[in-house]
């Protein structure tokens, strides 16, 4: 790859960690990756430079706008971010970082600190089958995927051993590494089933309630109320629950990938400022930059209502995303819809619902903010009433589908699912 910066890549920093990485991309409709440019450490920030060969390539697209316009020279991250958000989206979260830490230090312990390794180490050592259509390599000329396969049972066993701080065999370590780049804090792995690409979410040894089944029933209910959500099913492995979620960033065409960015990136924020993300700000972006904005705003509003209905207060900006085709954005199917534990009835969403900053988990707040989503109050009320009716009518069928026990139903129903707080007036 030829860049405008002739400095040789691949050097090591003071801690023996890499100081640069090549970014590869699957262009829209392509089944093989091409090198797009290089990411370099520059003090506390990371600069990106497009390769000249990529800029001259027919069909080349900016990796994301406005962050990384297709231009020569080093590009500094916007908004004082340490790294462009579209690249930060691809890094492993808590679970993936723990897997990589265990590879470096043999095992993880209660004192293990994910800050012991730098960003480029995490990007270069996490699995290549990451969410979206980008990957990171040490070479500009040869693409070498970091991937391994294992059965669902082997992956679950490996995840449990890692949680307990036990060492892994080289084969299981490599297989578990494949799922390190898909984000999230909970144990998970990537599984292929014929032409289906799945995320397997495992039960954790620290789960205080049936988290896997709870997310499974929430995803089922979401489909029943008419939301666009990822296909999913609850199965079992080694007598434990596993949620299989079909990936929407892959297609039925072997090798094809779809690029996407998180709402956090769309809003120009990062992890430390993510608390400032709001649904009205996202709605403004939808109106300005998304395809089919009216339908998308209605879908977003419906998802907010549903999150309140099922007690999912973990609706932060990384749990929303959009496809990126080089010019426009389109909302992805919903994901990570999981009822959260609560000690009482009061709850609040992770992102403000209305322009006044109100985030209380109540339908009234949604109705008061209807105009933000280009809905009349009557239209918003109809969405709320329909969702509540469907959840009430089809709860038992959805619970049966994920094999919730009688006790598990009691733990969820009218506690997380349709908690009375959602209907309070104030």
Beta bridge partners of 352: 278
Residue 87 near residue 132 (C-beta atoms within 8 A): no
pLDDT digits (tens, 9 = 90+) for 133-147: 999 999 999 999 987
pLDDT at residue number 175: 64
pLDDT digits (tens, 9 = 90+) for 235-283: 988 788 999 999 999 998 999 999 999 999 999 999 889 999 999 999 9
**Mean pLDDT over each residue of the chain, to the nearest integer:** 89
Residue 26 pLDDT greater than 70, yes or no: yes
- Strand arrangement, sheet containing 321-324: 260-262, 321-324, 329-331
Residue 8 pLDDT greater than 50, yes or no: no
The stretch 39-55 carries a mean pLDDT of 96
pLDDT at residue number 304: 98
Residue 368 pLDDT greater than 70, yes or no: yes
* Reported confidence tier of residue 12, pLDDT bands at 50, 70, 90: low
pLDDT at residue number 116: 73
* Least confident segment among 27-41, 113-127, 237-251, 277-291: 113-127
As to burial, measured by CB atoms within 10 angstroms (0-12 exposed, 13-18 middle, 19+ buried), residue 228 is middle
Higher pLDDT, 330 or 155: 330
As to burial, measured by CB atoms within 10 angstroms (0-12 exposed, 13-18 middle, 19+ buried), residue 108 is buried
Residue 2 pLDDT greater than 80, yes or no: no
Beta bridge partners of 50: 37
* Reported confidence tier of residue 387, pLDDT bands at 50, 70, 90: very high
Domains and CATH numbers, the chain: 20-137 (no CATH), 152-246 (3.30.200.120), 260-423 (1.10.1070.20)
pLDDT digits (tens, 9 = 90+) for 73-91: 999 999 889 999 999 999 8
* Residues of the chain above pLDDT 90, percent: 69
pLDDT at residue number 1: 44
* Least confident segment among 32-46, 66-80, 205-219, 388-402: 205-219
* Least confident segment among 101-115, 291-305, 388-402: 101-115
pLDDT digits (tens, 9 = 90+) for 169-213: 776 666 676 666 666 667 888 888 888 899 989 888 778 889 999
pLDDT at residue number 5: 35
pLDDT at residue number 111: 63
Length of the chain: 426
How far, in Å, CA of 348 to CA of 352, rounded?
Answer: 9
Residue 218 pLDDT greater than 90, yes or no: yes
pLDDT at residue number 6: 30
């Amino acid at each position: 790859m030829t860049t405008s910066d002739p400095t040789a890549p691949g050097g090591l920093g003071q801690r023996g960690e890499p100081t640069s990485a090549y970014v590869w991309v699957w262009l829209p409709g392509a089944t093989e990756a091409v090198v797009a440019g290089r990411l370099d450490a520059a003090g506390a920030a990371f600069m990106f430079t497009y390769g000249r060969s990529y800029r001259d390539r027919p069909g080349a697209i900016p990796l994301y706008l406005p962050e990384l316009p297709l231009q020569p020279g080093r590009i500094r991250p916007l908004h004082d971010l340490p790294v462009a958000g579209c690249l930060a989206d691809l890094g492993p979260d808590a679970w993936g970082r723990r897997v990589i830490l265990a590879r470096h230090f043999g095992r993880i312990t209660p004192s293990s600190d994910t800050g012991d390794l730098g960003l480029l180490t995490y990007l270069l050592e996490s699995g290549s089958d990451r969410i979206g259509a980008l990957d990171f390599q040490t070479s500009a000329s040869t693409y070498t995927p970091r991937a391994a396969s294992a059965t669902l049972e082997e992956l679950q066993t490996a995840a449990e051993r890692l949680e307990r701080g036990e060492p892994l065999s080289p084969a299981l370590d490599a297989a578990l590494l494949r799922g390190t780049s898909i984000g999230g804090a909970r144990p998970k792995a990537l599984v292929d089933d014929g032409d289906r690409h799945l995320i397997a979410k495992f039960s954790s040894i620290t789960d205080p309630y049936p988290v896997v089944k709870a997310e499974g029933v929430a995803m089922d209910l979401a489909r029943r109320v008419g939301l666009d959500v990822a296909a999913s099913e609850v199965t079992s492995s080694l007598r434990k629950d596993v949620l299989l979620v079909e990936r929407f960033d892959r297609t039925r065409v072997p090798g094809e990938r779809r690029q996407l960015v998180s709402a956090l990136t769309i809003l120009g924020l990062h992890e430390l400022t993510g608390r400032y993300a709001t649904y009205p700000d996202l709605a403004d972006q939808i109106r300005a930059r998304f395809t089919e904005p009216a339908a998308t705003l209605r879908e977003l509003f419906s998802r907010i209502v549903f999150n309140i209905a099922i007690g999912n207060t973990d609706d932060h900006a990384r749990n929303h995303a959009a496809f990126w085709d080089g010019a426009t954005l389109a909302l992805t199917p919903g994901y990570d819809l999981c009822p959260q534990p609560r000690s009482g009835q009061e709850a609040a969403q992770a992102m403000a619902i209305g322009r006044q900053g109100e985030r209380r988990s109540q339908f009234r707040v949604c109705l008061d903010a209807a105009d933000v989503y280009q809905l009349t109050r009557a239209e918003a009320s109809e969405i709320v009433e329909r969702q509540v009716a469907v959840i009430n009518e089809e709860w038992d069928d959805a619970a049966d589908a994920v094999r919730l026990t009688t006790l598990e139903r009691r733990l969820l129903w009218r506690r997380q699912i349709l908690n009375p707080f959602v209907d309070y007036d104030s």
